[in-house]
Amino acid sequence: MGRTVLVTGVARHLGARFAAAIARSHGVDKVVGVDVQPPAEALPPGIDFARVDLRRPAVARVIAEHGVDTVVHLNVSAMGPGGRSAVKETNVIGTMQLLGACQKAPGVRRLVVKSTTGVYGSAPRDPAVFHERMQPKELPAGGFARDAAEVEGYVRGFARRRPDVAVTVLRFANIVGPVGDTPLCAWFTLPVLPTVLGRDPRLQFVHEDDAVEVLRLAALDPRPGTTNTGTFNVAGDGVLLLSQCARRLGRPTVPLLRPALGAVAGLVRQTRLADISPELIQLLTHGRVVDTTQLRETFGHTPRFTTAEAFADFVAAQRAGLLPPERLAAVTDRLAALLGQDDRRTQEPMPR
Amino acid sequence: MTAARKTEPADAKVIPIESAPSWHAGSPAGGGFADRLAEAVGGALAGQLGATATKVLGKGWEDRAASGLAFLRRRITGDYEVDEFGFDRELTEEVLLSLLRPVAEKYFRVEVLGVENIPAEGGALIVANHSGTIPLDALMTQVAIHDHHPHRRHLRMLAADLVFVLPVAGELARKAGHTLACNEDAQALLERGEVVGVWPEGFKGIGKPFSERYKLQRFGRGGFVSSALRAGVPIVPCSIVGAEETYPMIGNFRSLARLLGLPYVPITPTFPWLGPLGAIPLPTKWTIQFGEPIPTDGYPREAADDPMLVFNLADQVRETIQHTLYKLLVQRRSVFF
């Protein structure tokens, strides 16, 4: 008998893509997607959709009704319908309700939770590269990272109470792809990028294809020689500096003093172009890099896209900025070609 | 050579700024601009300017200009690589070290001894004495190793957290390959086979009064020895003479330092009396000597958790540096020559 997979947050882009991928996987009989809002993109056939508000206990009924054995909790995200308080409630209360329902469901065998590398925070006094077992010096003060840290706490509690359930927590770096729906991606779409003066943070990205694949592998039985339970950092290889990202994207940066950036963030929030949260400012100040040895060696997956490739895929889907790198390169190429010509011009008379 | 190096970034910078407005008009205007620019520059180079440039900058300036343009192209399009610690090799080699090199060669006239004690490849931990109020000694050591080592190795320094709290300084430190002095980063770098530099005296060493010059301070908790033992890399003691006298610290504004959250605010014979002029270091003559490497690969892995062994090794390194310092001081003719 195949598996029955419950996917929360299926109305979102990542949720929908994951649901489609897991439905095609070998050994999966049924996929049930739940979300508080109807899916934005039509779900592929074969996926049952149930409109459930995770903050209510109704999800227990869905689990019992469909005989769910694998729960993939993707409804932990930085952005969502409603304000910040609604998002926080969905993240934290929603997880508590879901875990409560799972605890009461003897059929549940596997739980996969989407988290973020944001749980490590961004601070100048932390090591440059975070491993899974490191504790940040200061816990995230608020925002999505705090939600994720709390969610992980509840998941650890659940894992203690239900040792028979295989629990996987995946800490994703910023997920990018042709469709980027994270606060950082929204920030990158601003015509001029406000940055912090005197800072050039290191950023890491993971491509959404890799994110979907890692989630899929975590939801299935482990392949021989690998372990897919535990906590794993998920990020593309390599690092991009913010200045590199801006140049590759072709958008000019405006370095601001940190307090001024706070004021700009307020303005931008009012225009609803992007939400520059305090934790995003923190990320833009100190950056964050995680180690992915565990993902590659224990979990057994090497991301197909490096950080740079993932970002390039995001760039390709964006409108050209004010300083497109191709044009800047054309000017220097032109000058270089000129030098070449000039070389010949000056070398010709030399033998005389 | 230096003239050419300086002119490249200068004409380089002009281009994007001047051409910026025409891009808003769309691509034909952009192309038109590039053509006009090409014509103007081409004409100038074919005429008097080309001959003058050859005269002033020497033969082969075109090649240097071309490589400068290639460098500029990579920078403005973001087409360069940094490692996980933010080390920007190209920027460090082309810009940061070029800026520091004259200071090391012309100003402090750094004499480098025993650079062959740094292995040609694989990890090594350089442990050095710290002095001189501002970590100039660390920067000079980085230049010394890169310029004198046959394999042009880069020193990855472990810096105090204060550096990374400060804007600009933190950014430049990361780009130059430095990282926070913590066990995790030290070990990660050593295991990648990098040459890591550590100044275990920390602020105690760099901010000590002039009367205690060349007296090594306590070596912290010896965390650097544990990192070297875990990674099984040799420890290379390094003694730096000359840095102590760059800023002779005769006093310390304790209350101001506390107010600013700094470890100390120095008073030297020239600072703050001469204002910014007082911040110029005295032109002392420096010697940097790398000693015999102390191997650590003979110890079992769990040796890193043996406090006795760790303290003994730390003491051995400290003694070596202290003795070398005394020896170099005896040989020194004068502070400035």
Report pLDDT digits (tens) over A32-64. 999 998 887 788 888 999 999 999 999 999 999
Q: Which of A134, A198, A339 sits opposite B65 (nearest CB)?
A: A339
What amino acid is encoded at A27 in this protein?
Answer: G
Q: Which residues of A164-196 are buried (b: 16+ CB within 10 A; e: fewer)?
A: ebbbbbbbbbbbbbeebbbbbbbbbbbeebbbb
Locate A9 and state its tokens.
Answer: 């947050």
Nearest chain B residue to A291 by CA distance is: B84
Interface A:B, Cβ pairs < 8 A: 149
Of A321-330, B41-50, B123-132, B182-191, least confident by mean pLDDT is: B41-50
Q: What is the pTM of this model?
A: 0.86
Of A124-128, B17-21, B94-98, least confident by mean pLDDT is: B17-21
> Which ipTM value was assigned to this complex?
0.86
Rounded CA separation B129/A201 (Å): 30
Rounded CA separation B224/A336 (Å): 48
The pLDDT assigned to B10 comes to: 41
Rounded CA separation B155/B143 (Å): 8
Nearest chain A residue to B51 by CA distance is: A346
Locate A174 and state its tokens.
Answer: 């910023």
Estimate the share of chain B in helix, then strand, then coil, as percent rounded to the nearest 5.
55, 10, 35
Rounded CA separation B206/B243 (Å): 10
Estimate the share of chain A in helix, then strand, then coil, as percent rounded to the nearest 5.
45, 20, 40
Report pLDDT digits (tens) over A251-295. 999 999 988 998 888 888 888 777 888 889 999 999 999 999 999
- Residue B9 confidence class, pLDDT cut points 50, 70, 90: very low
* Cis omega (within 30 of 0) for bond into A124: no
Residues near A101 by beta carbon (within 8 Å), at least 6 away in sequence = A57, A59, A60, A63
- Interface check for B165 against chain A (CB to CB < 8 A): the answer is yes
Report pLDDT digits (tens) over B40-57. 766 666 666 667 767 777
User: Between the CA of residue B149 and those of A320, B105, B146, B168, what are the distances in Å?
Assistant: 45, 15, 6, 29
Rounded CA separation B301/B39 (Å): 67
The answer to whether the Cβ–Cβ distance between B174 and A202 falls below 8 Å is yes
The answer to whether the CB of B282 falls within 8 A of the CB of B131 is no
The answer to whether the Cβ–Cβ distance between B78 and A245 falls below 8 Å is yes
Residue bearing tokens 């010096």 = A137
Residue bearing tokens 């990890």 = B123
φ, ψ at A5 (rounded to 5°): -110, 130
* Cβ-based contacts of B83 with chain A (< 8 Å): 239
The most confident of the ranges A136-145, A188-197, B1-10 is A188-197
Where is A111: in which H helix or E strand? Answer: strand A110-116
The answer to whether the Cβ–Cβ distance between B180 and A127 falls below 8 Å is yes
Determine the angle formed by the axes of helices A13-24 and A208-219, rounding to 10 degrees. Answer: 50
The answer to whether the CB of A151 falls within 8 A of the CB of A161 is no
Residue A196 β-bridge partners: A256
Nearest chain B residue to A246 by CA distance is: B78
The pLDDT assigned to B5 comes to: 43
